[in-house]
Chain A
Amino acid sequence: QVQLVQSGAEVKKPGASVKVSCKASGYIFSGYYIHWVRQAPGQGLEWMGRLFPNSGDTNYAQKFQGRVTMTSDTSINTAYMEVTGLRSDDTALYFCARDSLLWSDALDIWGQGTMVTVSS
């Protein structure tokens, strides 16, 4: 079946970096945008950016420009999202999600989420 499986929870110190992976299966990985969305504890959903695996093209929310990098390895159907210079307010549940084929920028398949905790 179509699914996205993310890497496990991470605990990082302020200033460190974290790289979260998102492995796709059950569909043609290179043909769909992968988006990254996060949810801080008790907060709403926040769109971070998107990646088109076939070309490597990326678009980032202005807030994350320069601090977030999205990449992919199409040989293993995996997308990655790296955040550098972690701060305590980066503590959140991070999700990858696939763009729907039926309606662009509707996110129809989601990973299970990766909890990233930033604490000294």
Chain B
Amino acid sequence: DIQMTQSPSSLSASVGDSVTITCRASQSITNYLNWYQVKPGKAPKLLIYAASSLQSGVPSRFSGSGSGTDFTLTITNMQPEDFATYYCQQSQSTPRLTFGPGTKVDIK
């Protein structure tokens, strides 16, 4: 099974900051990597698919990069609504999908 790790597990940021979250796969997943934003008690929201493609309707301050085993999600100019938990998800091993453990971004 492909294992996903994320770092850091949590971080604190201020409005206006840039934030980078890293996701690592236990083996190459080429670009089969998606990113989600989750707020407590709410449905996840797809932000990035195929490692770097911005989902329709998602602000351009969100961006994704990487391939193979190492990926990043960057949020520039953090806004109040961006404080949430972020998960990566691999689909290389379809049909069995795996989520990373999550990175919680809270207000400094």
Contacts and interface: CB of A to CB of B under 8 A. Distances in A.
A23 interface: no
Contacts of B95: 50, 59, 105
A104 B87 CA distance: 17
B84 to A, nearest CB: 13
Contacts of A107: 34, 36, 44, 46, 89
A74 B82 CA distance: 37
Contacts of A111: 43
Contacts of B43: 95, 97, 110-113
Interface residues of A, number: 26
Interface in A67-120: 93, 95, 97, 100, 102-108, 110-113
Nearest to B100: A44
Contact of A93 (B41, B49, B100): B41
B49 A47 contact: no
B50 A113 contact: no
A39 B38 CA distance: 11
The 10 closest A-B pairs by CB, nearest first: A105-B91, A110-B43, A59-B95, A106-B49, A103-B49, A47-B97, A45-B99, A106-B34, A44-B102, A108-B46
